[in-house]
Structure 1
Amino acid sequence: MNDSPGWASPGSSPSDSERPGTDGSAQQPAPPAQPAQPAGDPKWSAEQPPPGQWSNPGTTPAAPQPQPTAGWGQQPGTPQAGQYGPQYGYPGAPGQWGQPPAAKPGVIPLRPLGLGEILDGAVATMRTHWRAVLPITLVVATVVQVISVIAQKFMLDDLAISASPDAGPEEFIDAIGSTIGATAVVQFIQFLGTIVVTAMLTMVFSRAVLGQHSSVSDAWRESRPQLLRLIGLTLLMALGAVLLGAVLILPGLLTETAALAVLGGVVWLPLLLWLGIKFTLASPALMLEKSTVFKAFARSSKLVKGTWWRIFGITLLTIIIAGFISAVIVMPFQFLGIFAFSGGLDALANGSAADMNNWGALIAPAIGLIIAQTIVMPFQSGVTVLLYVDQRIRREGLDLELARAAGLENYGTTGG
């Protein structure tokens, strides 16, 4: 990430006269002379209140009240003379412990993140930087769905022909071939679109962490040098999953042993899940560290080590949220396509391809998918990027580097 000096610290540190350990009372006017008081009945408290809370001369100062703050990792201190209950504040204040609030130049505070902060950071980036986020996903989702609708149109035509009682073996084989081809084209376009979205959104979210705005052209310029490597990384992960399944399942299929094939499948699925979470941070590592494919795999493995279950839980929750949002958006458009263009539930129950093979029935759900993907894709990409940032803050102190890149001078040396 590029340094961009000029950012001011979100909060100023206490002045020298207000810091603990200095004689702040020297800045106050001397109180008028008081008559001698009997021993054990002092007129003034044994311990003066902190700066800004002085009492008028001649009156007994009120006991200071607890002032909780939003500081991270704070712990209550032991009550001292003249104090009642724990106090919170900057480190070193009388009876006060804990860290000051972390700096937040962008969408997240520069400290280890909780689940809510990761999800909120992803949503905040979409809301604050929508001019860069939404055009990227909207264009890609639209291109993918247009190609998908065209491919499905011709695929359903071939299926209708093959379903005819007069169709021969050649028509049936052609229908199967065209179906496989159309599906392959749609999946390939979906694959390329996901790669482009992931690459560009990674750059947008990395700038949002620093409080910097991005444009679509900026995101494309920064992500373009790593696109081929990101494609290679994604293909390698897909190929590894297929090869792993082949090694575990094929022996049972070749020997026609159903139990062995089922056992291979039972082993393959959890192993695939474990590897998927283990390498889930490889994509942001590749894009942000400008590394090679295999170095990105190694970085992801190192960052996930010891926190697999935490990352799995956050990733699973993200998938559930994204799936729910997609379903809510897409279902009304699917019903519109069924009832308005496909003959209603009767055609759906009969599986009539002719009734489903019209532009209205294909375009209506495609519109819903475009809207859903425009919202869901940046949310999922943002969670992955912020998980990567969070793991590096926890393991490598990335918050100090991010603070310097955001222009926060002396961050981490003077209490932030």
Structure 2
Amino acid sequence: MNDTPGWTSPGSAPSDGQDGSGVPRPASPGDANGSAPQWSKDQPPAGQWQAPTAPAPGAPAPARAQSGPGWGGPQQPYNQWGRPPAAKPGVIPLRPLTMGEILDGAVTTMRRYWQTVLTISVTVAVIGQVADVLAQRYLVPAAPDVNADASPSEQLQQSADAMQSSLIGMGPAYLIMLVATLVCAALLTVVISRAVLGRPVTLGTAWQEARPRLLPLLGLTLLVALMSAGIMFVGLLPGLLLGGAGGVGLAFLGGAAAFVTVIWLTIRFSLASPALMLERQGVFTSLKRSAKLVQGSWWRIFGITILTQLLIFLVAMIITIPFAAIAIGTSDGGFGGLMSGTTPENSWSFLIITGIGGVIVNAITYPISAGVTALLYVDQRIRREALDLELARAAGLPGYGG
């Protein structure tokens, strides 16, 4: 492994005498000739070996024997299992990770390399929110007044038309936010890959390494989105064609089945983005890599992803609600207008204040989301491909080779 994204050759099966990472296993007695262990002929007489006894009361305890390289060196700390703790050159220990360690690694990266991380996330958040504010101000039509005398079907049609107009008006903003979010995820993945090794990275270096992968990353994101939309369309189509009450029930069942399928595929391909960035793979190869890494761990990755999104949602609510209250209070009509049904959605004061809240939310949540995804990828490769040995070697830790 080296200190650039790509790390080690993925997917190679462990060969004879190796553990999957290129590090030879120590030979056991008898391995050289394929025979049983050859013990020395000068063995002590039988029955003259005694088990060690406990020291007398008040006597000092014997020193613990050291193992591994550097026996004569200082005493290594031991954990509760009597083993030396895993090496930690960067933000995570080099061993299989728990959910708490994954979240802690993402937060530690943001705290330790805050200049680079916040420069990326704040810039992307500002670009996305400016596009959103301008689109809502100039492109999204005002909500039509609801006709109280209209029939329920007419009111439903009016709501559908208003939603369609809003989606069309927000289209350019969504596209800008998609590109900005992809750039943010790519840059943060590079930062986290260096943070695992304990090596900082500047914004210029992160951009230089991430720039060649932006178009493949965009293609990967669009492919997964189109795949999900196609599955939902196929699930809803039979019910829409049938119509009537039976069509509604069939559309519900088909939509539910399609939704479950989309969730399954989303988790199955959730590690494709870091695989594409750090292994420099193609789009389809990255999808296959993600499926291979997720296999057998789908529920674990699903649980960590859901809990992470719940945490992000709670953080967003804590920040968004005060800004929304301030925006409503300073807009025309204030809370009284809101109670009477007047919405201040297109006023400049409302859009600017809520936009500031959105920038703060995205600046905090982007690094956490990208960090959890990248560290889940690292964790799965540690579990399946002994990536921890390659990471230790790349970090220059003693005892792991050059």
Superposed displacement of residue 177, structure 1: 7.1
Residue aligning to 2:241:
254
Superposed displacement of residue 179, structure 1: 2.9
The CA RMSD over aligned residues, in Å, is 3.3
> How do 1:164-203 and structure 2 match up within 5 A?
179-203=166-190
Given the alignment of the two structures, is residue 111 of structure 1 paired with residue 95 of structure 2, yes or no?
yes
| Residue 412 to residue 314, structure 1, CA distance change in 2 (3 Å) | farther
Q: Output the CA distance in 1 between the equivalents of 2:188 and 2:377.
A: 14
Given the alignment of the two structures, is residue 61 of structure 1 paired with residue 54 of structure 2, yes or no?
no
Residue aligning to 1:159:
142
> What is the CA deviation profile of residues 171-198 of structure 1, one whole-angstrom value per residue up to 9, with x for unaligned ones?
x999777533321112111111111111
Superposed displacement of residue 46, structure 1: 6.4
The answer to whether the Cα contact below 8 Å between 1:89 and 1:97 also exists between their aligned partners in 2 is no
> How do 1:66-215 and structure 2 match up within 5 A?
98-155=82-139, 158-159=141-142, 163=145, 179-215=166-202
**SS of the residue 2:96 aligns to:** coil
| Residue 60 to residue 379, structure 1, CA distance change in 2 (3 Å) | closer
Q: Output the CA distance in 2 between the equivalents of 1:180 and 1:113.
A: 41
Superposed displacement of residue 272, structure 1: 1.0
Runs of 4+ aligned structure 1 residues displaced above 6 Å come to 45-49, 88-91, 172-177
> How do 1:12-23 and structure 2 match up within 5 A?
none
Return the TM-score normalized by structure 2.
0.76
Uncovered stretches (5+) of structure 2, i.e. residues with no partner:
5-50, 66-75, 148-158
Uncovered stretches (5+) of structure 1, i.e. residues with no partner:
5-44, 50-54, 68-87, 166-171
Q: Output the CA distance in 1 between the equivalents of 2:399 and 2:374.
A: 26
Q: Which entry has the higher C-alpha Rg, 1 or 2?
A: 1
What is the count of residue pairs matched by the alignment?
334
Matched residue type, 2:118: L
Matched residue type, 1:278: R
**SS of the residue 1:159 aligns to:** coil
Higher relative contact order (CA 8 A, sep 6+): 2
Q: Output the CA distance in 2 between the equivalents of 1:292 and 1:347.
A: 53
| Residue 114 to residue 176, structure 1, CA distance change in 2 (3 Å) | closer
**SS of the residue 2:142 aligns to:** helix
Residue aligning to 1:375:
364
The answer to whether the Cα contact below 8 Å between 2:393 and 2:401 also exists between their aligned partners in 1 is no
Superposed displacement of residue 409, structure 1: 3.5
Q: Output the CA distance in 1 between the equivalents of 2:61 and 2:193.
A: 47
| Residue 110 to residue 302, structure 1, CA distance change in 2 (3 Å) | same
**SS of the residue 2:263 aligns to:** helix
The answer to whether the Cα contact below 8 Å between 2:3 and 2:194 also exists between their aligned partners in 1 is no
The answer to whether the Cα contact below 8 Å between 2:320 and 2:357 also exists between their aligned partners in 1 is yes
Q: Output the CA distance in 2 between the equivalents of 1:3 and 1:369.
A: 35
Return the TM-score normalized by structure 1.
0.73
